[in-house]
Amino acid sequence: AQSVTQLGSHVSVSEGALVLLRCNYSSSVPPYLFWYVQYPNQGLQLLLKYTSAATLVKGINGFEAEFKKSETSFHLTKPSAHMSDAAEYFCAVSGGVYGGATNKLIFGTGTLLAVQP
Amino acid sequence: ETGVTQSPTHLIKTRGQQVTLRCSSQSGHNTVSWYQQALGQGPQFIFQYYREEENGRGNFPPRFSGLQFPNYSSELNVNALELDDSALYLCASSDASGPNYGYTFGSGTRLTVV
């Protein structure tokens, strides 16, 4: 079975400060890992994904995440927070089976990021 | 390239009624998944359709059912609505033919059951 744990349901940072959102996963198969962002009253937008290539993944809007198998972690970081980064962030894991077999996303409970001026 | 389109955006239904939500997948995507996102929660997998067949289901009762059409668009049907069915319903499409597939989500349908 697969699962994701996001530590910290609320994170607050100052504008210009480092953003660190934590995600730990559990998976019995090599995982595919994703970070999504959700703005109020909107759907999910993909920030970045790990699909067993490079362990350091760069995404949109200056975000990046590092896959650490030994720590079963996939933390999301951004060097300098911007006011527009305020949103909810979800980490998700998938088994990544090809050819149409079930590859559902298992989501964490989300981290609400607040950016203070 | 068009994204995933969901309709309607908002819906209010009465307990016991039935509802149909619709999703047009992104061009070139052959797989559609539906998720339920209750307020303050992460999305929960309902089911997935691949080439018009259900291809995996989450922990949802049979009154949640779906269809996928030849053009890969999809419907989610919920019968005998309950108050707890109030949620944001998200559709996601993907191309499951290769190792680097990704999911594209629609903006969702906000269902309120009163």
Chain A residues whose CB is inside 8 A of the B58 CB are 104
**Residue A27 clears pLDDT 80, i.e. is over it:** yes
Contacts of A110 in chain B (CB under 8 A): 40-42
The pLDDT of B86-94, averaged and rounded, is 94
Q: Are B78 and B94 in contact (CB under 8 A)?
A: no
Among the partner residues B41, B45, B105, nearest to A44 by beta-carbon distance: B105
- The yes-or-no verdict on residue A85 having pLDDT over 90 is yes
User: Is the confidence at residue B91, as pLDDT, over 80?
Assistant: yes
User: Percent of chain B scored above 70 by pLDDT?
Assistant: 93
Confidence of residue B56 (pLDDT cuts 50, 70, 90): confident
User: Are residues B104 and A46, on separate chains, in Cβ contact within 8 Å?
Assistant: yes
- Cβ proximity of A91 and A81 under 8 Å: no
Distance from CA of B59 to the nearest CA of A (A): 12
- Cis ω on the peptide bond leading into residue B99 (within 30° of 0)? no
Residue among B103, B107, B111 with most chain A CBs within 10 A, to mutate: B103
Nearest residue of chain A to residue B31 (CA atoms): A100
Q: What is the pLDDT of residue A101?
A: 53
For residue A97, give both structure tokens.
């089976």
How far the first Cα of chain B sits from its last, in Å, is 37
Residue whose entry in the numeric block shows the structure tokens 């999910």: A44
What stretches of chain A adopt beta strand conformation (E)? 3-7, 10-14, 19-26, 32-38, 44-50, 56-58, 64-68, 73-78, 87-94, 106-107, 111-116
- Number of Cβ pairs closer than 8 Å across A and B? 75
